[in-house]
Amino acid sequence: MHIRNANQIYKEVLKDSEKFAIWITNKVGTIGFFAVIFFWTVFWLSWNMFAPPHLRFDPYPAFVLWLFISNMIQIFLMPLIMVGQNLESKHSEIRAETDYEVNLKAEKEIQQIQQELAEIKELIKVISQKQG
């Protein structure tokens, strides 16, 4: 029985768009991405609250432009993240199937070894009886 490489199978079946979704999911789910969004938000809100009035571009307290951009980011990222999570779930299923195949192969090999040990034990018993 040939054991399949789950990671290789997974990579072979992915389309470029799916690879992109996984890449986005992996990047968005990092502390680095959180830090970028956090500091961008703090800077944006601080600038539009405390900068000289003639330099403010998104007036306090509404921050309409900030809300629009933030919502657009969420609208685009949410489906990509969901697709990425679904693909990661498929990868987990492939790995589980491969693990099952490995376990079946190991079980068959163990049974074969046990059978051979039983035969060796019988041979030793026969040999010891002939000598004794």
Q: Rounded CA gap, 25 and 87, in Å? A: 10
What is the overall mean pLDDT for the chain? 92
pLDDT at 1: 63
- State phi, psi for 93 to the nearest 5 degrees: -65, -40
Q: According to the model, what pLDDT value does residue 12 have?
A: 82
- What whole-number distance in Å separates Cα of residue 16 and Cα of residue 56? 41
Q: How many residues does the chain have?
A: 132
pLDDT, one tens digit per residue, over 56-109 is 999 999 999 999 999 999 999 999 999 999 999 999 998 999 999 999 999 999
Amino acid letter for position 24: I
On the question of pLDDT at 132 being above 80, the answer is: no
Report the C-alpha gap between 34 and 77 in whole angstroms.
Answer: 13
- Note the pTM of the prediction, 2 decimals: 0.67
